[in-house]
Amino acid sequence: MMFQMDNSPSPSPTLASSLHLKKPPTKTNILLLENIAQTAVDALREQGFYVETMASIDKETLIKKIANFHAVGIRSKTDLTEDVLEHAKKLLCIGCFCIGTDRVDLDAAQRRGIPVFNSPYQNSRSVAELIIANIINLARQIGDRNKEMHNRIWNKTAKGCTEVRGKILGIVGYGHIGSQLSVLAEALGMDVKFYDVEDVMSLGNCKRVKTLDELLKISDFITLHVPETSQTKNLITDREISLMKKGSFLLNASRGSVVEIPALVEALKSGHLGGAYVDVFPSEPNGNTKDFHQELQGCPNTILSPHIGGSTTEAQDSIGREVANRFINYLETGSTTGSVNFPNVSLPYGVGTHRLLNIHKNTPGVLKAINNILSVYNVEGQVLLTKGSIGYLIVDVSVETSNTIKEEISKLPTSLKTRILY
């Protein structure tokens, strides 16, 4: 459902601070976990928000703390499940300072009127560069030679080592990371092919193949760049690995559920695969530890890293700025642009008005009930969109009538959250 009306002047929809909007007196508390970049902390504090940072937090402590915060930011270790969100009575929004949102129960957040924001593209270059580095490392067996040197073993050998020039790189998932990777790989002289379920345009000389099986059969290197979905769970099993060339290589920096680890271990130990690079695992610790066990440990020419694909200073700084700006735009203007579980809504600012936000259940008759209330007042701008179980309304009304309208809309049985911004 979509309804939009705008009678207001149309300045550019920038951050609320640039328009010098009068902020409500209530203090906004934001909790940032998992060492989120200082760029985010600085941006939020510059807007006058109270920001508390923590490196890590256990579930029991999180449940106690989250009740006092209006926004919370996480990366890839903290779970915001339904039982956690149940205690987050003041929570207005969630930020995933990373690509994935799988640590958040998106449906539970939506039902509670909490939009979730992420940064799907800012670390693409960092991941692509790491894959390029490990394609070369695998081709030259650098992982094994490095391990030997640390154990005082001098083993100078060229057996099984090759250049990557002229080799076929098969990319599974040709999104922002996959496409950037293809450009870098071509610069090294690689012949790049890709498979994607979506109809996407290829860059450079990269060519699409019709099926995953075809890509597996022809490639010297297979690299995975897919989201975590029911369709990608165990995408690579013993069947798929058996289709790969003998001596070829598998790289996974996408999600740990995509590859069936025992099948990969068997292929490495048997020599069917020449090596592997794995950055993500089916089960990962919630914090740094000196006791991490994984079946892949000890496999020949196998390079492992602790989920650091996007962990560069540049990527984290960019992610910090992007998600912090999503917070600021939502908290101060109501814009949900970039939200993964909410209708993406924004509205140009009115002059001399108050902005009212209403999140409500998406049921028949809601629009009629809201418009019945608004019909007797002067409305400067209005937009309403729905997604899933909820609808989201932004409306600009006169300063004199805003409190009355808020009270009337709040009383509707379908309303979940109603607030006045300014």
140 a catalytic residue: no
Residues in the chain: 422
Tokens found for residue 62: 């999180």
408 a catalytic residue: no
* Residue 349, pLDDT score: 80
Indicate which residue of 70, 112, 145, 255 is catalytic. 255
**Percent of residues in the chain assigned helix, strand, coil, to nearest 5:** 30, 20, 45
How is the beta sheet containing 116-117 ordered, strand by strand? 50-54, 29-33, 71-74, 93-96, 116-117
Q: Is the dihedral of CA 303, 304, 309, 313 positive or negative?
A: negative
* Residue 26, pLDDT score: 62
* Residue 339, pLDDT score: 97
Closest alpha carbon to 185 in 151, 159, 217, 223: 223
111 a catalytic residue: no
**DSSP string computed for 226-268:** ----TTTTT-B-HHHHHHSPTTEEEEE-S-TTSB-HHHHHHHH
Helix (H, G, I), strand (E, B) or coil at 327: helix
Q: Are strands 379-387 and 116-117 parallel, antiparallel or unpaired?
A: unpaired
How is the beta sheet containing 221-224 ordered, strand by strand? 207-208, 191-195, 168-172, 221-224, 248-252, 273-278, 302-304
Q: Is the dihedral of CA 3, 5, 10, 16 positive or negative?
A: negative
Indicate which residue of 284, 314, 400, 407 is catalytic. 284
d(CA 403, CA 410): 10
Mean pLDDT split into 10-residue runs, the chain, 422 residues:
38 41 67 96 97 94 96 94 97 94 95 96 95 98 97 96 98 96 98 96 96 98 94 97 98 97 98 98 89 97 96 95 97 96 91 93 95 93 95 95 95 96 82
